[in-house]
Amino acid sequence: MSKANFYRHGDYNVICDTCGFKQKASRCKLQWNNFLVCKQCFEERNVQEFVRGRFDKQAVPLARPDSTPRFRETNINTEDL
């Protein structure tokens, strides 16, 4: 026998969208995804869905242009090594 098989003035029977059991409407809640669920099946919305990204400056604080490479000539003979 279901929990909702009794008369209460101004209340009506609903079926939980999650578990499928018959409940009174006064014992149910509307969930964030518009499901009408009983109090045992009710779950809060995850707070991570409300997190927003923040702007991240990726520019280098002190940028310098590339310089031309400077090579020195040495008198080392590679045949002696």
Average pLDDT over residues 25-33: 94
pTM passes above 0.75: no
Residue 81's pLDDT is 58
Residue 2 has pLDDT above 70, yes or no: no
Per residue in 32-78, pLDDT (tens digit) is: 999 999 999 999 999 999 999 888 888 888 888 888 878 777 776 66
What residue ranges do the domains of the chain occupy? 1-44
CB-CB contact of 50 with 63 (8 Å): no
DSSP letter at 61? Answer: S
Assign 79 to helix, strand or coil. Answer: helix
Average pLDDT over residues 3-19: 90
Mean pLDDT of the residues in the chain = 86
